Structure 1
Amino acid sequence: LVELLTVLAIIATLTTLGLAATRGAAEKGKTNRCLNDLRQVGVAVQLYVGDNSGRFPNTSHQGVEASWTNTLAEYLKTNFLGRCCAVPKHRSKLTYAWNDVLADGNGIGFMAASFRHPSFTMVVGELATNQTGEHFHFAGIRGGPSRISANQFRGFVNVECHGTSANYLFADGHVENLAWSQVQTRLAEPESAFLVP
């Protein structure tokens, strides 16, 4: 009887470990799929910039011709949905949003050459579940986007979309999965280029 109980306990422990590993692998797969989607957007942005004299795409509300999704449509694969698979029940059509600070007050995209640190400037992030639209509204923050607090940022961005982290596309075209603590550190840096080119 003792041996049987020992075997059952071992089987239960192994089953629990196996389920946890499977769940972790599934979450990692979703994170990687999302990173690949953002990488695809990054390639589209770089192609657009190359075809448009070094200017980044415009930003406007979805459905308007100048929205980044419409502007980049010809550069994106036809199966691009603009949705992260980790958030299947998001209230917005898109779960990826554009950093509106990368355009002037008229929605015209900045010149790539004007970016101080392209590898530090976020272009696209994951939209918070309580938000809708195709771009963040960082430019409207009182005191300007360089003064955005961690709480304000978190109100726009789903900073823990992938457990304790989220995926971001940067102006140089690379993508990163950043923990919320890493983003807070970047936002707090003096003269941070995380949002402001």
Structure 2
Amino acid sequence: MTNSSSENKRSAGMTLIEILSVIAIVAVLSGILLAVIGGAREKARLAKCSSNLRQLGVAVQLYTSDHQLALPFGYWIAQNSGDAQVWDQFVEPYLGEGLTEVLRCPSDYFAEEDSDFPRRSYAMVRNHQGGVAKTGYMTKNSPDALRLLSIGNPADTIMFTEYSCAKASGQGSDNVIGEIACSVVDTPLKQMQSGNGTQLHDGLFNYLFVDGHVECRSPEDTIGTGTLEAPLGMWTYASDD
């Protein structure tokens, strides 16, 4: 009777090995679940970022239709007054109260240093004046606006992309709405090294093209025969590079 009772007690409980096995299985399943949830959240942030750029593209198209098919310039600082104009000021009437939300990628997690100057996650592609963003610094006249008819292949020319600049990550300026600093980007290398950089979407960036469509690509896929420091391909509006 004693032996039978002892065996029943052992069979009714769990051994230490069994308990540890259950804990290990739960830990593995939790890790898988967290990875799935994290991946789903990043996909949602990426989709929201893509949507932001599409809305920005619509605003630019509306602007061009009101300005003889000319794109807004990147920025201009007037010689005499020192007043500055930036591309986001030109599209603001077409975005209205949604400007702040549209110009912020949800993966660009740096907080504003000043709530009066909301962060801006996007920049117009200048590429040292080889891109669509034309700029002028302390010039008498504003930069000549680039007309759509001057762009060889609008579906293959980047107009805006993500550019996360922040003093918190070592840059000299924050990318904030209404400011010329970080309003344009010259190279993919700067894009990759600034702010959240390649952490935004696991090494990928969203790109808004002149024709209004958005693609998520690696920077290396956008430079044609150029380099990350001197891009060609989608970073210029010429049709023969």
**Number of matched pairs:** 186
Counterpart in the other structure of 1:135: 183
Q: Following TM superposition, where does structure 1 have runs of at least 4 consecutive aligned residues deviating by more than 4 angstroms?
A: 184-188
Higher relative contact order (CA 8 A, sep 6+): 1
Change in Cα spacing, 1:5 to 1:154, as seen in structure 2 (3 Å) is closer
Structure 1 contact 125–169 (Cα < 8 Å) conserved: yes
Q: Distance in 1 between matches of 2:215 and 2:50?
A: 7
Segments of 5+ residues of structure 1 without an aligned counterpart are 139-147
Structure 1 contact 57–108 (Cα < 8 Å) conserved: no
Structure 2 contact 185–191 (Cα < 8 Å) conserved: no
Q: Match of 1:55, SS? A: coil
Q: Distance in 1 between matches of 2:213 and 2:55?
A: 10
Q: Distance in 2 between matches of 1:41 and 1:112?
A: 16
Q: Distance in 2 between matches of 1:135 and 1:187?
A: 23
1:175 alignment partner AA: V
Normalising to structure 2: TM-score of the pair? 0.66
Tell which structure's C-alpha radius of gyration is larger: 2
Q: Distance in 1 between matches of 2:198 and 2:210?
A: 19
Counterpart in the other structure of 1:175: 214
2:122 alignment partner AA: Y
Shift of 1:33: 0.8
Q: Distance in 2 between matches of 1:5 and 1:94?
A: 49
Change in Cα spacing, 1:184 to 1:4, as seen in structure 2 (3 Å) is farther
Counterpart in the other structure of 1:40: 55
1:181 alignment partner AA: E
Structure 1 contact 65–71 (Cα < 8 Å) conserved: no
Counterpart in the other structure of 2:234: 194
Counterpart in the other structure of 1:21: 36
Q: Distance in 2 between matches of 1:90 and 1:184?
A: 31
Q: Match of 1:194, SS? A: helix
Structure 1 contact 61–134 (Cα < 8 Å) conserved: no
Match of 2:74 among 47, 59, 83: 59
Whether 1:6 and 2:32 are equivalent positions in the alignment is: no
Match of 1:115 among 129, 144, 151: 151
Deviations 1:63-110 (Å, cap 9, x if unpaired)?
x66421110111114122222111121678312111233236543321
Q: Match of 1:119, SS? A: helix
Counterpart in the other structure of 2:89: 70
Structure 1 contact 54–111 (Cα < 8 Å) conserved: yes
Change in Cα spacing, 1:104 to 1:7, as seen in structure 2 (3 Å) is closer
Between the aligned residues of both structures, percent identity stands at: 26
Structure 1 contact 187–194 (Cα < 8 Å) conserved: no
Q: Match of 1:169, SS? A: strand
